[in-house]
Structure 1
Amino acid sequence: MRTIVAPYGRWEPATPAQVASLLSAMPCPWWVAGGFAIELAVGHHIRDHGDVAVVMLRPDQHHLCGALRGWEYWAADPPGVLRPWEPTESLAGPVHDIWCRPGPDEPWRIQVILDETSNGQWVSQRDPGIRRAMAEIGKISSDGIPYLAPEIQLFYKAKQPRPKDQIDFLAVLPHLATSQRRWLSEALTHSFGTHPWLDQLAC
């Protein structure tokens, strides 16, 4: 397993299968996110990963503590300062990230991203004007692992795309159905006006 040294300690990201095993008992929806979600969408390895992210809905945050019993949880206060998070605290916006590890001397294993919901819809934390029915947020891999729909993951990657985001975009683009391309094009246009991915999505 690859170890990544981050400003707040080592990362040894759990695999999607390990994440699924750890979180399978949670009585709420969750989805593997980030580059791993793109790999689950295309069905094969694309690149190395420095961490693994999981998306949950903000109202479900305390279910995490029941699944990862005995672990440490640290909230990322903007602009990204980690602090211990106790299950008695309800994290409100603008806190969106929780880092999780089995113990104080252990590497970080899972990053949890809290997304918003309103009137039964998923609401983007980046742009509240971007919404979607909950039934359309995730997919299930051939291994039974829930993952964030690739067009939604690409929308999150599109704000300031890094080289790895471009790799993910090009890898999953041939796998996007017409409806997924249309949704992403409309979301990018709504949030950014123009974007370098729009021409490729139209092809």
Structure 2
Amino acid sequence: MPPGGDVVDPDELAARWADAWRPEQVAGRLDGVGTPWCVVAGWALDLFRGGQSRPHGDLEIAVPEAGFAEVRDRFPECAFDAVGSGRIWEGADTDVLAATHQTWLRDRASGRYLFDVFREPHEGGTWICRRDESLRLPYDAIIARTVDGIPFLVPELVLLFKAKEPRPKDRADFDGVLPLLSRARCEVLSGWLTRMHPGHPWLRELARR
């Protein structure tokens, strides 16, 4: 992590996320951008399910690192703060952005955070998993869309990221989405879990699908 950055009180941080956007709000502002982007994490699973299943404290999207500037330019009224290891670098410069992965979009007028941007590694049109660089897929293979056209990360990848250190909400997300996964999606997720998290408890449940 780069030097500096501020540690924010958890209660203050929760208050600053109180006005987090919904996926359709981001999609409206990013309509027509050339860089591939998608909703990730819990909201992505709800888009896959076709409805909101639980409250969400924030909204996260992913973009190729090289496409971040195009996304940033759609929000001239906002600042982008880099985040990492529990610290926040407000209005992060190029060096801080290069050393971090997450970026929170902050409304300059209110100081509230609206959504989180993951700047993902890639090679051209190929996405690279930041936890295992051998996992590489074309963007059109990892992004699905709702009937309204909102792009979201395919559920097997969302669950792969949630599997590392699953919290109660991650377990609930897995339980809710598992009945909706095709056998093909289950097999793909099982293969990734076996490679990255051998012996993971979700493997047994996936095998029964």
**Structure 1 alignment gaps of length 5 or more:** none
Q: 1:19 to 1:124 in 2, by over 3 A?
A: same
Partner of 1:133: 138
Q: 1:71 to 1:25 in 2, by over 3 A?
A: farther
Q: Is the 8 A contact 1:139 1:148 kept in 2?
A: yes
Q: 1:28 to 1:170 in 2, by over 3 A?
A: same
**Structure 2 alignment gaps of length 5 or more:** 1-9
Q: 1:5 to 1:16 in 2, by over 3 A?
A: farther
Partner of 2:194: 189
The aligned amino acid for 1:169 is F
Partner of 2:65: 58
Say which SS state the counterpart of residue 142 (structure 1) adopts.
coil
The Cα shift of 1:69 comes to 1.5
- RMSD over aligned CA atoms reads 2.0
Q: TM-score, normalised by structure 2?
A: 0.87
Say which SS state the counterpart of residue 46 (structure 2) adopts.
helix
Percent identity of paired positions between Structure 1 and Structure 2:
33
Q: Report the number of matched residues.
A: 198
The Cα shift of 1:129 comes to 2.3
The partner residue of 1:167 within 168, 172, 179 is: 172
Partner of 1:32: 39
Q: 1:83 to 1:104 in 2, by over 3 A?
A: farther
The partner residue of 2:185 within 180, 185, 196 is: 180
Q: 1:23 to 1:162 in 2, by over 3 A?
A: same
The answer on 1:148 being equivalent to 2:153 is yes
The partner residue of 1:7 within 13, 20, 28 is: 13
Whole-Å separation in 1 of the counterparts to 2:179 and 2:163: 17
Whole-Å separation in 2 of the counterparts to 1:29 and 1:119: 11
Partner of 2:127: 122
Offset from partner CA, 1:118-157 (integer Å, 9 cap, x none): 3642111122122222221110001210001111111111
Partner of 2:103: 98
Whole-Å separation in 1 of the counterparts to 2:70 and 2:96: 12
The aligned amino acid for 1:187 is W
The Cα shift of 1:87 comes to 7.0
Whole-Å separation in 1 of the counterparts to 2:64 and 2:88: 20
Of 102-111 and 30-39, deviating more is 102-111
Q: Is the 8 A contact 1:72 1:104 kept in 2?
A: no
Q: Is the 8 A contact 1:23 1:68 kept in 2?
A: no
Q: Is the 8 A contact 1:75 1:83 kept in 2?
A: yes
Say which SS state the counterpart of residue 171 (structure 1) adopts.
helix
Offset from partner CA, 1:64-122 (integer Å, 9 cap, x none): 2211112111011x313111235766832x51100002215331111001111136421
Q: 1:89 to 1:67 in 2, by over 3 A?
A: farther
Q: 1:187 to 1:174 in 2, by over 3 A?
A: same
Q: 1:101 to 1:124 in 2, by over 3 A?
A: same
Say which SS state the counterpart of residue 121 (structure 2) adopts.
strand
Answer 1 or 2: which has greater helix percent: 2
